[in-house]
Amino acid sequence: MHAFPAERTAIITGAASRRGIGRAAAHRLARDGWSVGMLDIDGPAVKDLAEELTRTYGVQAVGAGVDVGDADAVRPAVDDLAGALPPVVALANIAGVSSPTPYLELDDAEWERVLRVNLHGVHHVTQAVVPAMIRAGVGRVVCVSSVSAQRGGGTYSRTPYSVSKAGVIGLARALARELGRHGITANAIAPGPIDTDIMGGKLSDERKAELVAELVVDRVGTPDDIAAAISFLVGQESGYITGQTLNVDGGLYMH
């Protein structure tokens, strides 16, 4: 088992939204003792979050405003975070956008917008972060996909979202194969219905009941459910798990 540095950093994308998975993950990993570097398109909000994490948990935290879909902007932002924090050991690719547009109404701009953030953004950030993991001698990459990738939608978002999230699963598996020799694992998480704004805003009780009817548990998921899975997969003891997709979906999708 590759040993983690005593002081280590997790980089998280898409952390600023107050009701999002990224913010929950940032709090969870900071609570677990990780230093945290965060990238989000909302620069002021993610910098405020960094101050909140330091104040609450006593860890080092830095936030940077960047569009993960902009390859030219991502690398210097990642370099700045890596230079300001302890060795980078973990990456949680969480930033994403939704897309409820029906397929026959879909235009090229919407297709490209979704893939640019949800798939290209994961690639840009991962490629920028992995060299720091190689320097550390160990690494954990976790990419948030969606049950929509496996079921072809069926929750809120439609075709380009499902395609982009299916690509994330393929990317995680390819990363696992290529990066394993460096002590780096790569896995995907496929959330089911989670009560976040990416589901189209705060879910009504009626909509929650509709979603729960398809599940084998009696509730819609929360961002904390996904943050717990991220915490597990970036942990030192998860070093023999790689190339996998962990469904955290209340039983919505079963093989």
- Assess whether 161 carries a catalytic annotation: yes
Name the catalytic one among 57, 156, 161, 253.
161
Return the sign of the alpha-carbon dihedral for residues 234, 19, 14, 108: positive
Cα 113 to Cα 99: distance, rounded to the nearest angstrom:
9
Cα 222 to Cα 220: distance, rounded to the nearest angstrom:
7
Q: Could you please report the per-residue DSSP string of the chain?
A: -PPPPSS-EEEEES---TTSHHHHHHHHHHHTT-EEEEEES-HHHHHHHHHHHHHHH---EEEEE--TT-HHHHHHHHHHHHHHSS-EEEEEE---------GGG--HHHHHHHHIIIIIHHHHHHHHHHHHHHHHT-EEEEEE--HHHHHT--SS--HHHHHHHHHHHHHHHHHHHHHGGGTEEEEEEEE-SBSSGGGTSSPPHHHHHHHHTTSSSSS-B-HHHHHHHHHHHTSGGGTT--S-EEEESTTSS--
Cα 199 to Cα 67: distance, rounded to the nearest angstrom:
21
The catalytic residues are 161
